[in-house]
Chains A and B, each alone.
Chain A
Amino acid sequence: EPEVTQTPSHQVTQMGQEVILRCVPISNHLYFYWYRQILGQKVEFLVSFYNNEISEKSEIFDDQFSVERPDGSNFTLKIRSTKLEDSAMYFCASTRDSMYEQYFGPGTRLTVT
């Protein structure tokens, strides 16, 4: 069964450094999302991406964040200058149609020190 994959599973970085989180969505899916979950809190929407552009973004998704689909298979989330409060689990999700259920990857745990 096809699945969403994410790499790395755990990333440790120092404050102020840039990180890139990678996701490979399911191959015939067209809509892509990033969510995050700070430890002990609920899952929060960051950004949605369709037709090679951002469809919608939350207040969390400020200028420090960017997304890209560089090669038709990968979907990346970049944090330009990480802050302590960016420490969280980041989930990628994809779906064939925005009205269908989203399939989530296993997540990348980002720890900013």
Chain B
Amino acid sequence: AQSVTQLGSHVSVSEGALVLLRCNYSSSVPPYLFWYVQYPNQGLQLLLKYTSAATLVKGINGFEAEFKKSETSFHLTKPSAHMSDAAEYFCAVSEIYGGSQGNLIFGKGTKLSVKP
């Protein structure tokens, strides 16, 4: 079964600093991978996705992620954090094989805090 591991339940950075949120997945076949963001009291918003095209994926709000098959990783980065980036970030893998209808398997989430 596929699974997603997000290292660090809470990450704190200073405004303007690099943001790095880690995600590793386990899958026997190349997966589809997603990062979603959840602002307080809101639903999940798609940041970016990897669907077997370019390994470096650019998303909204200046975020990007790189798919590294050898490391089974899909880490999320942003060069310079803004206060508005404070939110919880979820990495997810899609079960698209074996007859599955694309159900998403989520990691536990990483809460990002941005200090002024």
> SS class of chain B's interface: helix, strand, loop or mixed?
strand
Q: How many residues on chain A are close to B (CB under 8 Å)? A: 25
- Residues in B lying within 8 Å of A, measured CB to CB: 32, 34, 36, 42-46, 49, 51, 90, 92, 94, 96, 100-109
Interfacial chain A residues near B34, Cβ < 8 Å: 101
- Kindly report which residue of chain A lies nearest to residue B44, judged by CB atoms: A104
**Assuming A42-B90, A43-B90, A105-B43, is B101 touching A98 (CB within 8 A)?**
yes
> SS class of chain A's interface: helix, strand, loop or mixed?
strand
- Residues in A lying within 8 Å of B, measured CB to CB: 31, 33, 35, 41-45, 48, 50, 55-56, 91, 93, 95, 98-107
- Kindly report which residue of chain A lies nearest to residue B92, judged by CB atoms: A43
For B102, give its contact among A35, A41, A102 (CB under 8 Å): A102
